[in-house]
Amino acid sequence: MDILRIENLTKIYGTGDNTVKALDNVSFTVKKGEFIAIVGPSGSGKSTLLHILGGVDKPTSGKVYMDGQDIYAQNDEQLAIFRRRQVGLIYQFYNLIPVLDVRENITLPVLMDGKKVNEERLDELITFLGLKGREKHLPNQLSGGQQQRVSIGRALMNAPAVVLADEPTGNLDSRNSREIVELLKMSNKKYNQTLIIITHDENIALQADRIIALEDGRIIRDEVIRK
């Protein structure tokens, strides 16, 4: 089943002399539960693509359908809620709220909904992420790897349909990198969550089910490597 359908996506930055075509008429579909790695050189448009998928950046033209719904047909408020519940974004630079502790950072999307936190699920996640005992710590009291795990926790808390990760291991050492990818893979298998990772690392890319290669804003290769 297609969880994600991208049609003729184009993104142009800048005006006049300085226009940059980050994405040029990109189209593809994603099945539920797929683990996709997006690769490509710098400036190929990977991050742009991810951000548009995550509802964070608007396309210049083209459509993105998640679960059959045109996400950019929504107004700002609906889009915000979409971001809260339907996707989970993980960035390269941890992007945690520095004044909130681990627990609060992870439960951020739930708190925004004003709903009660499912303590069981939270506990499960924290154990899963290896953060037990650090619930009350602030981000500046955590190592790089731990901060990234918190990011992942936040992305997974609401059990979104799609998890998008932009170079999640870019800032980490090899051991931490491996662990992070393991976590993401586990989540992908366990919860049948669709996972799309942007990465430079060949090793990571090869662990995915499918690799999409971008160059100059266009897909140059779309290969399923694992069934």
Partner 1 sequence: MNVFLNVTLKTLSRNKTRTLVTIIGIILSAAMLTAVTSFVTSLRCFMTDVAIYENGDWHGGLYSVGSGKIRELESNPEVLHVAACENIGYSALSNPKYGSSPYIFVIGADSSFNSIMPVHITKGRLPETADEIILPVHLVKNGGTEFSVGDRITLDIGVRMYENTILNQQTAFIAGEDGKAGEELVIKETRTYTVVGFYERPSFESFTSPGYTAITVMDGTVQEGRTYDVYFKLKKPSAIYSFIREEQQKEGYAGSTYNDDLLMYSGVSKYLGFYTVLYSLTAILVLLIMAGSVSLIYNAFSISVSERTKQIGLLSSVGATHRQIRKCILYEAMFVSVIGIPLGILSGLAGIGVTLSIVGQRLTSLYSGDVPYSLSLHVNIWTIIAAVLLAVVTVLVSAWIPARRATRITAMEAIRQTKDINVKAKDVRTSKLTYRLFGLEGMLARKHFRRNRKRYRTTVVSLFMSIVLFISASSFCSYLKDSVTDVLKTRDYDIRWVYNTRAYTEMTPRQVYEMLAQTDGITDSVYAYVEIGNAYVEGEDIRDEFKERFGGSAGGSEDSGADNDVYEIPASVFIVPDEVFDGYVSSAGLKNADAFVMAYVEGIDAVTNKYKKIKILRETASALDLKMLRSIEAPIPEGLSEEELDALIYKKTTIDIGAVVDSLPFAINGYNFGCNITVMVPERCVPRYFAGIEVMNDVYYYFKGKDHNALADKLRDALDKHGLPSENLFDAADYEETNRNMIFIINVFAYGFIVLISLIAAANVFNTISTGINLRRREFAMLKSVGMTQKGFHKMMNYECLMYGTKSLLWGLPAAIGITFLIYRSVNSGYETGFYIPWVSIVVAIFSVFAVVFATMLYSTSKLKNDNIIDALRNENL
Residues near partner 1, by CB under 8 A: 51, 54, 56-57, 76-77, 80-85, 89, 91, 93-100, 104, 108-109, 111-112, 114, 139-140, 154
| Smallest separation, CB 56 to partner 1 (Å) | 4
**Residue for token pair 């994405």:** 23
Residue 117: how many CB atoms within 10 A of its CB?
14
Nearer to partner 1 among residue 136 and residue 221 (C-beta):
136
Shortest Å distance, C-beta 115 to partner 1: 11
Least distance to partner 1 from the beta carbon of 89, Å?
6
8 A C-beta contact, residue 13 and residue 19: yes
3-class state of residue 34 by DSSP: coil
**Token representation of residue 220:** 């140059």
Do 189 and 16 contact (CB within 8 A), yes or no? no
**CA of residue 188 relative to chain centroid, distance:** 12
Q: Which is nearer to partner 1, 145 or 210 (CB)?
A: 145
Of 40 and 55, which CB lies nearer to partner 1 in the complex structure?
55
Instruction: Return the number of the residue (98 or 133) whose C-beta is nearest partner 1.
Output: 98
CB of 156 to partner 1, least distance (A): 13
3-class SS shares of the chain: helix, strand, coil, % to 5:
35, 30, 35
